[in-house]
Amino acid sequence: MALQINTTACDGSDVFWAWILWLLAAFILGLILGWLLKQIFGSGSASNRTDDLTRVEGIGPKIEGLLNNKGIKNYHQLSNTSVDVLEKIIEEGGPAFTTHRGMTKTWPAQAKLAEIGQWEELQKWQDVLKGGV
């Protein structure tokens, strides 16, 4: 005994293909809406993004590499990292980075300005800073 599905409407017309087309259209619309929302609101996680940390006064390409190796790859992560942790990262970098100790005090605050897009305010502050302090 095979299972049979009746796809005939009350008026005698076949509605199977109409329902399949509606379901396909709804699926495609869902994919498009999901893609658009992802474009508008981003990937949903700040940890996926990589920012140019060298825009923070006192961070050069080598220090950016140290930070990236410790998982700090964007302004959000840097702004939420304590100065003590940043000092430890610099210390672990070795003797070549000892001159940068103490510069980390302003990095989280600078990164916060960069994260929220306050570039003019950040530039004003960086014009006053000398070597990150």
pLDDT for res 46? 58
pLDDT for res 1? 61
Helix (H, G, I), strand (E, B) or coil at 14: strand
Give me the residue spans of the domains in the chain: 1-42, 46-128
Q: Which segments of the chain have a pLDDT < 50?
A: 132
Helix (H, G, I), strand (E, B) or coil at 86: helix
For 77-97, the pLDDT digits (tens) are: 999 999 999 999 999 998 888
Helix (H, G, I), strand (E, B) or coil at 12: coil
User: Could you tell me if 57 and 126 are in contact, meaning their C-beta atoms sit under 8 angstroms apart?
Assistant: yes
Burial pattern 62-82, b for ≥16 Cβ within 10 A else e, equals ebbebbeebebbbbbbbbebe
CA 89, CA 67: separation in Å to the nearest integer?
A: 7
pTM: 0.62
Instruction: Tell me, rounded to whole angstroms, the distance of Cα 104 from its chain centroid.
Output: 22
Looking at the chain, the number of H-run helices and the number of E-run strands are 6, 0
